[in-house]
């Protein structure tokens, strides 16, 4: 890669070229792209071309936006906000009222067929859609208006993907997701409540680099992020295979980090890369099961917000025994890793390398700089 591009990156993002190249390589690996794709990714990120983005907010808690912005080290949100041109976002814009609506219409008119539409939140359809209105327009009308000239649509979060929490039974406002309402445009869903920002970043980078969305599964989710079950990469999987389960919160098995299946963990029927890429900035990142809470299946339509926490998951291809051994003190005995579980964990860790690098990008460079000054 030529020096001009790398210099441009150092100036644009304030990260060292070595860290940046590591990130591009790891991102290409995470997305399962062929060798050489890292150069195309680096070039696309360095390019001054920034795709215009119109970001809508409907029925939601704004957690999707928050998860992008609340990294302790300004890396992910900086990468995202530097590679796109955010032309409309109710929460982040200083402007409001007529001014912000005029900005949205101006951007859409100037970028017909070129802008990316990001939708956060569910769309209520009952009673003419009156339960969510922006600037006097129903969410549904605004969605249709903005989708008409979009190049592609990203449904960010479970609410936009299928209705998520607002659509929980009895679904009083008739909430639903973007894929149900838009059939004539490419729509990618990035479910999760909130979704992992790294999956959003990778999807946007894929669009920026190749001008198309990544490969999707049957539910419209990027395969690179939702192709495996949580259960396949879970660090507690060896306990599952060995029949060691926490029986209730706070018991000995729970304190020892045993499998959370009997506490209602939906990892065996939920597809997502949470255990591989982790969330947040605490230590080197964490995730629900890592903190001792069972996965509630927030990325899986039909599971998250629908299947109660007390209901046991139905593993897709490993049926556990009907009764479970009690937790016993195992002095001197290590946990035996089933080879499939061991390999899956290793593969999962490799897939999460990009997120780990992204998480530490700003931090590492900042540490390097401060070390250099001493
Ligand atoms: Fe909240 Fe987003 Fe959940 Fe929904 O994330 S974190 S309720 S998926 O739309 O803001
Ligand atoms: Fe991990 Fe849950 Fe599977 Fe247990 S049931 S191994 S805690 S994903
Ligand atoms: Fe959601 Fe389960 Fe991941 S609850 S964040 S899919 S571990």
Q: Is the CB of 57 under 6 A from ligand 2?
A: no
The pLDDT confidence band at residue 368, using thresholds 50, 70 and 90, is very low
What is the pairing mode between strands 137-138 and 133-134?
antiparallel
Mean predicted confidence (pLDDT) in 8-12: 74
Q: Tell me which residue of 86, 121, 84, 128 sits closest to 104, measured CA to CA.
A: 86
Distance 347 CA to ligand 1 centre (A): 29
Distance 42 CA to ligand 2 centre (A): 36
Distance 66 CA to ligand 2 centre (A): 27
Judged against a pLDDT cut of 70, whether residue 73 lies above it is answered with no
Which of the 8 DSSP states describes residue 136?
T
> Which pLDDT score, from 0 to 100, does residue 339 have?
38
Distance CA 190, CA 120 (A): 10
Supply the residue whose CA is at minimum distance from atom 3 of ligand 1.
Answer: 193
320-356 tens-digit pLDDT: 555 554 555 544 444 433 433 444 444 455 556 666 6
Mean predicted confidence (pLDDT) in 202-220: 91
> Which pLDDT score, from 0 to 100, does residue 371 have?
39
Judged against a pLDDT cut of 80, whether residue 25 lies above it is answered with yes
- For the chain, the distance separating the N- and C-terminal CA atoms, rounded to the nearest angstrom, is 32
- How many other C-beta atoms lie within 10 A of the C-beta of residue 106? 12
- How many other C-beta atoms lie within 10 A of the C-beta of residue 367? 11
Distance CA 198, CA 285 (A): 12
Query: pTM of the entire structure?
Result: 0.86
- Nearest ligand to the C-alpha atom of residue 260: 2
Select from 258, 261, 287, 312 the residue to mutate for testing ligand 2; criterion: most ligand atoms less than 8 Å from CB. Answer: 261
The pLDDT confidence band at residue 219, using thresholds 50, 70 and 90, is very high
- How many other C-beta atoms lie within 10 A of the C-beta of residue 244? 21
Task: Show the tokens assigned to 237.
Answer: 């999987």
> Distance of alpha carbon 205 from its chain centroid, rounded?
14
Q: Is the CB of 159 under 6 A from ligand 1?
A: yes
Q: What is the CA radius of gyration of the chain?
A: 22
Q: Tell me which residue of 247, 293, 118 sits closest to 195, measured CA to CA.
A: 118
């Amino acid at each position: 890669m030529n020096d001009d591009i790398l210099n441009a990156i150092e100036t644009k993002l304030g990260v060292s070229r070595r860290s940046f190249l590591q990130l591009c390589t790891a991102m290409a690996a995470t997305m399962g792209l062929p060798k050489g794709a890292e150069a195309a990714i680096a070039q696309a990120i360095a390019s001054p071309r920034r795709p215009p983005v119109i970001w809508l907010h409907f029925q939601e808690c704004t957690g999707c936006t928050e998860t992008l912005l609340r990294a302790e080290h300004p890396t992910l949100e900086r990468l995202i906000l530097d590679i796109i041109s955010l032309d409309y976002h109710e929460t982040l814009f200083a402007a409001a009222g007529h001014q912000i609506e005029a900005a949205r219409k101006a951007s859409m008119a100037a970028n017909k067929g070129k802008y990316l539409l990001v939708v956060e939140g569910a769309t209520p359809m009952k009673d003419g859609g009156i339960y969510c209105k922006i600037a006097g327009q129903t969410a549904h009308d605004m969605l249709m208006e903005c989708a008409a000239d979009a190049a592609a649509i990203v449904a960010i979060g479970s609410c936009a993907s299928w209705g998520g929490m607002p659509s929980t039974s009895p679904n009083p406002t008739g909430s639903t997701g973007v894929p149900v309402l838009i059939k004539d445009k490419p729509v990618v869903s990035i479910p999760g409540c909130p979704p992992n920002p790294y999956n959003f970043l990778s999807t946007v980078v894929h669009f920026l680099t190749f001008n198309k969305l990544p490969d999707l599964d049957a539910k419209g989710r990027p395969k690179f992020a939702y192709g495996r079950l949580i259960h396949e990469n879970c660090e507690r999987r060896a306990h599952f295979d060995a029949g060691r389960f926490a029986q209730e919160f706070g018991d000995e098995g729970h304190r020892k980090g045993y499998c959370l299946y009997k506490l209602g963990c939906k990892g065996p029927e939920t597809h997502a890369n949470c255990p591989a890429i982790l969330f947040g900035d605490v230590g080197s990142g964490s995730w629900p099961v890592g903190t001792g809470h069972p996965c509630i299946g927030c990325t899986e339509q039909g599971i998250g917000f629908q299947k109660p926490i007390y209901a046991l998951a139905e593993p897709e291809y490993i049926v556990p025994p009907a009764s479970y051994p009690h937790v016993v003190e195992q002095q001197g005995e290590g946990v035996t890793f089933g080879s499939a579980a061991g390999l899956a964990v290793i593969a999962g860790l490799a897939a999460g390398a990009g997120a780990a690098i992204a998480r530490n990008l700003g931090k590492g460079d900042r540490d390097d700089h401060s070390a250099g000054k001493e």
